[in-house]
Amino acid sequence: MQIVQFQDLGHWDYQKAWDYQSALHRALVDNKLQHRDHPPGSYSQQHYLLLVEHPHVYTLGKSGSLDHLLLSEEELTTRGIQYFPINRGGDITYHGPGQIVGYPILDLECFFTDVHRYVRNIEEVIIRTLAEYDIEAVRVPDYTGVWCLPDPQTDKTSPGEIFRQKFRKICAIGVHLSRWVTLHGFAFNVNTDLNYFKYIVPCGINDADKTVTSLEQELGRPVDISTVQSQIRKHFCAVFECELAPS
């Protein structure tokens, strides 16, 4: 069983967290290169799970479109929102207070070498966490991330019309891999101010039937962030078949 070092970073500026996770990622890659003549798992490799909250920031993935940022540079400054183009997959997303951002930094050659399985595993961690709050969440075909099921009582156009699948995204996922070492991760809306999503086209999805939500909005009450973090840690261990150790 792999040991993963867990760190709760608290509230960190995005640039600081990006520099930190990049340094950890580089150390794992360098260690692999130093042991290139040894099979994976035959030498010690340090894995990490970082959880953090960021101040207001938009990040744009390498495959995203700047057109999906609906604010000018001046408006970003006025509203106190940072912006970073980064090297993960996916389009534009928002990070901010009340949101748990997770950065797993894993050498997947010590787990499994399957990018799609890795993303599905992250989704599964969040799906199981939401089940702790009696929220049934799902994957939606062709859309990465975790979504809350449509409400059959409200998600209809009008009486007699066909049921519309109004899924609500509660967790976005964007990752990057180098030599099978992971970077970036997930953004789980807990007590997140959803108004900040109005200034972007979230994840590049311009579809009235695909919106965003938060755990607070689904439950109708604020949720203790530390309790949610504990659930994430528990389910991360179960899904990735690893042990978390404080770092």
The CATH number given to whatever domain includes residue 84 is 3.30.930.10
Residue 144 lies in a domain: no
CA neighbor of 176 nearest in space, from 223, 108, 82: 108
Q: Per the structure block, which two tokens stand in for 209?
A: 């039937």
Q: Say whether 148 is catalytic.
A: no
- CA 138, CA 90: separation in Å to the nearest integer? 19
How far from the centroid of its chain's Cα atoms is residue 15's Cα? Answer: 17
- CA 170, CA 208: separation in Å to the nearest integer? 16
Structural domains counted in the chain: 1
Residue 104 lies in a domain: yes
Residue 88 lies in a domain: yes
Residue 155 lies in a domain: no
Residue 61 lies in a domain: yes
For residue 51, pLDDT over 80 is answered with yes
What's the pLDDT score for residue 36? 85
Confidence of residue 99 (pLDDT cuts 50, 70, 90): very high
3-state secondary structure of 58: strand
Burial-class residue 193 by CB neighbours within 10 Å (0-12, 13-18, 19+). middle
- CA 119, CA 104: separation in Å to the nearest integer? 11
Residue 158 lies in a domain: no
Q: What pTM value is reported for the model?
A: 0.91
pLDDT digits (tens, 9 = 90+) for 151-210: 655 555 444 443 455 899 999 999 999 999 999 999 999 999 999 999 988 887 777 788
From the list 148, 171, 203, 242, the catalytic residue is 203
Residues in the chain: 247
Residue 213 lies in a domain: no
Residue 152 lies in a domain: no
Range of the domain at 73: 2-132+171-207+225-246
CA neighbor of 95 nearest in space, from 171, 25, 147: 171
What's the pLDDT score for residue 158? 46
